Structure 1
C-alpha cells in the first residue's frame, strides 16, 4: 500500500472514532441519520466520477491547461504582501519564481473585487459562473427563495443543518442552487473532450471528477454542532482538511495524467481566521506559511513529475477577506429573543417571524424571514394583507407593500445602536432608508455621509438585487456597524460568536487577490491579456471570462 493510501486509511479509522465520540459527547440527535453517509464517504474513497462514460481526455503536451487555486478567506493586501516578501516561496515558485520582490511570470491584479455580500457561497458562485448574484441566484450563505417558500442554506449561519453542508460537497446541493451554467459547463461548449477535476469545491457541476477531502466535511460539521469552541487545539484540525485534499489530488496524479483544468479549493485559512484568538491577520499569516505554502510545494512537485506545468496557466483567487470582531454576546447578533436581538425587534414590531430552522411546515403562518451573513442580514417580508390573522398562511408570490409592510420594520431596525445602514427596495433596487418612510439613493447618501472603507457599493448592490433572481436578497438589507468601523469594539455581526467575519462592502472584506501566471509569459504580457478581457477593473464575475480565454 502506498504512503498516501496508508495515511488516509489511518485517518479514516481515527475520523470514524472521532465522529462517534463527538456525537455521543454533543448529544445531537439531529445529525444521527446523516452519520451513515459520513461513514460511507470516509470508507469508500475520496473521488467521485461525475460524468459516467463521458470523461474527457487527458491534456496532451503543448495544450494550454489551467490550475485554479481557490483560497478561502484571504484578502489581496495580505496575500500580495506575503508573496512580495517571499514568505510563500512555494507559491512564488508555482507562479514562476520571484526576483527582487517581483514575480516576472505572474500578473497580480490590484483591482479585483468580491461581489456583495462578500460571503463564501455568493462569491464562489460568482467566480465559478461568471454571473452576478442577481443572475446566478446564490444571494448569501443562507437566503430565502420566495417563489418556493423555502430557506436555502449552502453554508448555514442561523440554522443548524449539518446534513446540508455534507450535501453541498457530495450530493450537489450547492450546484442545484445555481440558475446559470458553471465555468466548467461553459468551457465544454466548444471542447467536449476537456478533462476537468475539481477538488472539494461545492460548485463542481460540469466537471468529470470530484475529489473529496473528508476532513473538510468533518470540520464543517464540527463548526455546526461544536459551536463557540475557539481553542487553538481545535483549530489545528482545520489545517488537516487542506492537507488531505492536496494528498488526494497528488494520489490521483500518481495514477493518471493531469487534466486540462484542475480546481483546488482550500478552506483552512478561512477557518483559522474565524475562530482564532490571534486575530485574522496573524492567524492567516501563520496558516499560510506553515500549512498552505508547503502543500503548494507538494502539489507543484506532483505536477512536475507528470510534466504538467510547462504549458499550464496558474490562476490564484480568493472569495473575500476578513474583519476582526469581538467574540462575545454583545457584538454577536444572534437568534435569541433577548430585547436587542434581531428576532425580538421583528416580533416587537408586530411581525410573525419564521423559525430559525431549515424546513418548516407548509401551513406555518410566518410573514417575515431573517437570513444571516456576518456583516449583513436579509429581511424578507410578505404582503401581510394576504395573511392578516394568526394562522393565516401568507402568499409569498406577492411582493410586500412598502408603507404597510416594509417601512414599519425598517424604522424599527434603523433605531438600533448596532445598525449602520438599512437598505430597502425601491423599484427593484436598494436605497437607503432615512426614516419616516423616506429613502435616498445609496450614492447620494454615501456622498453626504462618507464611509471611506466602503467600495463600489452602488454597482455591487445592483448586481445583487437587480436581475431575474434579485429577490433572493430580501426586501430589507441590514448592514451592521462592522467594516466601516476602525475599532473592533464597535463592530457587530449577524451570527454566533467568532473572532472575525466578513460580508460587508468594506475594503478588508471585498478586495480579493487575482493572480494569473504562466511559466513562459511575462507579467506585462499577462497584464495586457487580463485588462483586455476585464477592462480597467476586475469584478469577480469576470474571472470565468479570463479562464475561458
Structure 2
C-alpha cells in the first residue's frame, strides 16, 4: 500500500466523527492533533523502512586493471575475498569475466561512455586529444577546473548515470572522476594533490611521477572522510550534514594505471610481467584499501545495505618496443606544412595527434585550403601515405592503417559507402606505387578481421568513435607491444587494439546483492563497459533509460539465468600469487 493510502486509513480510524456537528470542537482538536502525530510517525516509519531496504551502490573503478587480476588471485586478497564472497563464504555475486572497453585505444573517452552508456560519437568525447576541423583547435580533456568533459556532454545533451539517479530522486557522489554532471557531491583532485603525489614519487622511486600508492590512499581518504576543504563532500561529511548515505558512490582509483606505466626499478630489472606487476599492486596497496572501505561502511551502519561494482576501464600491456613520438612528423615535414612556431594550425596542411598504439593524421584539402573539405584521395592522402611507408620505423611498428571515406562528398571515381577503408600497405609496397595501385590497395573495413583477433569489435569501434568534424583522414595502428613514446623508460602502456588492453572484468557483489539476485552467477557471453549505466539503474530499480548503446546483462537473472551459469562450489580459489 502506498504511504498516501496508509495515511488515509490512519486518518479515518483516528477521526470517525469528522462529519459531526461542531459542538464537539474540543474532541475534534484532540483528534486532529492525534492524526497529525500519526501521519508524521507513519511517514517517518515508511522513510526509515525505505532507507533500510534500498541498496546503496559503490562503484570501485580500478583504472587500468587487467582482466583476471582479481579472480585468479583472490586467495591472496583477503579483503577483496570478504567483499565478494563474504566473511563466511555466503555472499551472492555476479562475475562477468569478458568485458570489452567501449572502443579500442581510448581512456577518458571510454570512461565518458561507461558513465553515459553511449558511444564516443554521441558523447562528443571522441579521444583524449583530437583536432577539430571546424575551429582548427586541438581539444584536450585536461583543465584546471576539470570541467571539459562535463561541458561537452552538456552541449550534446548527453545524460550521465548520475543524472538518471537524480531524476529518480536519489543521490550520487563521485570521487576523482572528471565526469560529474548530475552528481550531488564531487571530490576532485587539484594541483596541490598532484604536486604532493609527484614529490612522493620522486622520494620513493627517484622519478618525478605521481606515487601510485599515495594517489589511491588519498582517494580513499577523500571518499570516506574527506580532506580539509572536501570534508562536507565525503561520505562522513554527507552523513553528518545531510543525514543520508548517497545511493550511488563512484570512486576512480588511478594507482594501478600509474604503477603499471612506471613500476619500481627492481621489478623492471627482473623483467616482471604485467600480470605479476598488477597482482603485486593489488595485494600490497588495493587490498588494504578495500579493507578500509569495508570497515568504514560498517561503522556507518550501511555495509549490509551496500552492493559493489568492481570495474575497470582498460587493460595494460608491457611495452615491447618504443617508437619515437615524432616519427610521423619527420616523415611528413618535408612535403606537408605542419603546425609550428611559424605555422598556425589554420594554415597548416597536416596535423598529427599524439598517440601511443595509434597515430591520427588530419589532412587539409590543399586545393580549396579548407579543413572541412575532404582531402583529395590521390593528391593529398596518397602522398602522405607514401611518405609514411618510406620510413623504416613506421614499417617496423605498423600493423595496418585505415583511411577515412567521405560518402557523397568526394568524387574521384572511387565508390565511398562506409566510414573507413583498410589500406593493404604490404601489397601496395610491392606494386609500382601509382594511383591505380593505391586504389587497388583500398579494402573494405571488414578486412580488419584478418589482422586483429577482435576484428568485429575493432570495426564497430572505428564506426562509432568519431564525428564528421573530428575524424582523422589516416589512422595508423601499431603491432602489439609497439608504442609511440617520448619517455623510453616507460615500462607499460595501454590503448592498443589487442585483448590485453581491451578486455577487463566486472564483478557485482556485496552483502545487499542477494536481495536482488540470489546465488552466484558467471556470464558466459561478452559484455561491454557501455553496460554499466543499465546495470546500476537496474540494481537500483530506476527505470532503464531509453536510447542507450549498452544493455543490462544482469536483467536475464531476474527472469531466469539466460546466458549465465551457476558458479561451481569453490570456483574462486584463485591461482595464488606467483
The answer, yes or no, to whether TM exceeds 0.5 is yes
Residue 545 of structure 1 and its aligned partner are, at CA, apart by: 1.3
Query: Map of 1:242-253 to 2, 5 A cutoff?
Result: 242-251=216-225, 252-253=234-235
Q: CA distance change for structure 1 residues 494 and 367 in 2, over 3 Å: closer, same or farther?
A: farther
1:89 alignment partner in structure 2? 78
Could you say which residue in structure 2 is the equivalent of 1:456?
Answer: 457
Residues 230-245 of structure 1 mapped to structure 2, 5 A cutoff: 231=205, 237-245=211-219
Equivalent residue for 2:422, pick from 415, 418, 432: 432
Query: Is the counterpart of residue 317 in structure 1 residue 341 in structure 2?
Result: no
1:91, 1:342 → 2: CA distance?
44
Residue 352 (str. 1) matches residue 327 (str. 2) = no
Per the alignment, residue 543 of structure 1 pairs with: 532
Which residue matches 2:140? 153
CA distance in 1 between partners of 2:130 and 2:196 (Å): 19
Which residue number in structure 2 is paired with residue 24 of structure 1? none
Question: How far does residue 275 in structure 1 lie from its aligned partner after superposition?
Answer: 1.2
Structure 1 residue 419 corresponds to structure 2 residue 398: yes
Secondary structure, counterpart of 1:516 in structure 2: strand
Task: Provide the residue aligned with 1:474 in structure 2.
Answer: 472
Give CA-to-partner distance per residue, 1:160-209, whole Å, 9 cap, x none: xxxx35332xxx123223332222123333x1x32111001111111111
**Residue 181 (structure 1) aligned to one of 145, 154, 159:** 159
Offset, 1:235: 6.0
Task: Give the TM-score normalised by structure 2.
Answer: 0.68
Range 127-136 or range 473-482, more displaced: 473-482
Q: 2:109 aligns to what?
A: 122
Q: Is the 8 A contact 2:136 2:346 kept in 1?
A: no
Spell out the pairing of 1:390-539 with structure 2 (5 A cutoff). Answer: 395-415=370-390, 416-417=394-395, 418-426=397-405, 427=407, 428-434=418-424, 435=428, 436-437=438-439, 438-447=441-450, 450-452=451-453, 456-465=457-466, 469=467, 471-483=469-481, 491-497=482-488, 498-521=490-513, 525=517, 536-539=525-528
Distance in 2 between residues matched to 1:186 and 1:414, nearest whole Å:
48
Q: How far apart in 2 are the matches of 1:321 and 1:505?
A: 11
Deviation string, structure 1 residues 386-435 (Cα, Å, up to 9, x no partner): 23xxxxxxx22323232222232133324532211111112452221124
2:323 equivalent to 1:332: yes
What is the RMSD of the two structures over their aligned residues, measured on CA atoms?
3.4
CA–CA distance in structure 2, aligned partners of residues 281 and 215 of structure 1: 31
Match among 173, 179, 185 for residue 197 of structure 1: 173
The alpha-carbon deviation at position 232 of structure 1 amounts to 6.0
Contact 1:410 1:424 in 2 (8 A): no
**Does structure 1 residue 372 correspond to structure 2 residue 359?**
no
CA drift at 1:262: 0.5
Cα distance in 2, alignment partners of residues 379 and 96 from structure 1 = 48
Distance 1:87 1:234, change over 3 A: farther
The answer on whether the counterparts of 1:517 and 1:523 sit within 8 Å (CA) in structure 2 is no
The structural deviation recorded for 1:303 is 1.1
- CA–CA separation in structure 1 for the residues paired with 2:503 and 2:206: 27
User: For 1:5-50, what per-residue CA distance to the aligned partner results, in whole angstroms no more than 9, with x for missing partners?
Assistant: xxxxxxxxxxxxxxxxxxxxxxxxxxxxxxxxxxxxxxxxxxxxxx
Once residues 513 and 90 of structure 1 are traced to their aligned partners in structure 2, the CA distance between those partners, rounded to angstroms, is: 18
DSSP-derived class of the 1:472 partner: coil
Q: Distance in 2 between matches of 1:344 and 1:524?
A: 58
What SS class does the counterpart of residue 420 from structure 2 fall into?
A: strand
Q: Match for residue 161 of structure 1? A: none
CA contact (8 A) 1:166 1:217 kept: no
Q: 1:506 to 1:527 in 2, by over 3 A?
A: farther
Task: Check 1:370–1:300 CA distance in 2 against 1; reply closer, same or farther (3 A cut).
Answer: same
**Structure 1 unaligned residues grouped into runs of 5+:** 1-56, 155-163, 336-340, 388-394, 484-490
Partner Cα distance (1:153, 1:529) in 2: 40
Change (3 A) 1:230 1:237: closer
From the superposition, tell whether residues 243 and 287 of structure 1 become closer, same or farther in structure 2 (CA, over 3 Å): same
Question: Aligned residue for 2:257?
Answer: 270
Q: Number of aligned residue pairs: give it.
A: 438
Query: Is the Cα–Cα contact under 8 Å of residues 91 and 511 in structure 2 kept in the other structure?
Result: no
TM-aligned CA distance change 1:267 to 1:79, over 3 Å: same
Per-residue CA distance 1:457-497 (angstroms, 9 max, x = gap):
222222224xxx265341211101225xxxxxxx2335543
Give the alignment's TM-score, normalised by structure 1: 0.72
2:194–2:210 Cα contact (<8 Å) kept: no
Unaligned stretches of 5+ in structure 2?
Answer: 1-46, 226-233, 408-417, 429-437, 539-578
Report if aligned partners of 1:318, 1:512 keep a CA contact under 8 Å in 2. Answer: yes
Structure 2 partner of 1:72: 63
| Contact 1:423–1:430 under 8 Å retained in 2 | yes
1:81-136 C-alpha deviation (Å, 9 max, x unpaired): 123xx222212222342788xx8522110221012233321211111111111111
Q: Distance in 1 between matches of 2:421 and 2:127?
A: 19
Q: Residues of 2 paired with 1:385 and 1:236: CA distance?
A: 47
Q: Deviations over 1:282-316 (max 9, x none)?
A: 33222211111111111111111112222322111
Q: Secondary structure at the match of 2:104?
A: coil
